[in-house]
Amino acid sequence: GEDVEQSLFLSVREGDSSVINCTYTDSSSTYLYWYKQEPGAGLQLLTYIFSNMDMKQDQRLTVLLNKKDKHLSLRIADTQTGDSAIYFCAETMNYGGSQGNLIFGKGTKLSVKP
Amino acid sequence: GAVVSQHPSWVICKSGTSVKIECRSLDFQATTMFWYRQFPKQSLMLMATSNEGSKATYEQGVEKDKFLINHASLTLSTLTVTSAHPEDSSFYICSARGGTGANTGELFFGEGSRLTVL
């Protein structure tokens, strides 16, 4: 079945860059997403990338997609303490009755040290 | 961007009572809404998919009589946890997907509702 894997923890110093990695198994993925979840809150969509793109940049966020290796990464430049949260990678496919369903990874907890 | 509002954010109830959680798309029509449940320290688990005007499609292992989903309009879906028990305590999150345009593949999430059953 479909599977999305992420490392569980990442710790960086304020001002450094953070890179959160994700691998997925289903090559028919059409959209790949990054969500941010702050403590006690719901999910906030950070950015997404279509599967026919290699890179997408949005202010401090850069998403890289390697379709051959089924590898997705999220780079946060100049990481701030407010970036501390859990980051979820997710994929969606379009097939049959499950169109639009998201498959999530377990999330990477990013800790930013002053 | 599109906004999805979920209500209530927090709810505490006694065992045996029923709780209704609302999910509204505020500035777009959501042809499809999804309900997720998040267990502590785990990822989101899809519970069911609801399309406006039709019955919800439940994922395997989710009791449809326990978790009643109604998607009566293009902007509102409700999840009712019937006869709630402590094991139903969880974080429930809805998401909504528009039907057309550039955002067709994009899902917007509500803030989530934390249910605690005593």
pLDDT, tens digit, for every residue of A17-69?
999 999 988 777 677 889 998 876 777 878 888 888 899 998 999 999 998 89
C-beta atoms of A102 and B105 within 8 A: no
Look at residue A100 and tell me whether its pLDDT is greater than 70.
no
Q: Please state the three-class secondary structure of A48-110 as a single string.
A: EEECCCCEEEECCEEEEEECCCCEEEEEECCCCHHHCEEEEEEEECCCHHHCCCEEECCCEEE
Q: Calculate the average pLDDT of chain A.
A: 85
Q: What is the pLDDT of residue B46?
A: 85
Residue A75: partners with Cβ closer than 8 Å, 6 or more residues away: A17, A18, A19, A20, A61, A62, A63, A64
pLDDT tens, N- to C-terminus, chain B (118 residues): 568 889 998 899 999 999 999 999 888 888 888 899 987 666 778 899 888 888 898 988 999 999 999 988 889 999 999 999 999 999 899 988 765 544 455 677 887 898 999 9
> What pLDDT, on a 0 to 100 scale, did the predictor assign at position A96?
39
Q: Nearest CB to A31: which of B46, B93, B105?
A: B105
Look at B34 and A102 and tell me if their CB atoms are within 8 Å: yes
Question: A42 vs B110: CB contact, 8 Å cut-off?
Answer: yes
Name every chain B residue with its beta carbon within 8 A of the beta carbon of A30.
105
Beta bridge mates, B79:
B21, B69
Q: What percent of chain A has pLDDT over 70?
A: 87
CA–CA gap between residue A97 and residue B71 (Å, rounded): 17
Q: Do B32 and A88 touch (CB under 8 A)?
A: no
Q: Which of A84, A77, A101, A81 is CA-nearest to residue A1? A: A101
B29 to chain A, any CB pair closer than 8 A? The answer is no
In the structure, what pLDDT confidence band is assigned to residue A71 with cuts at 50, 70 and 90?
very high
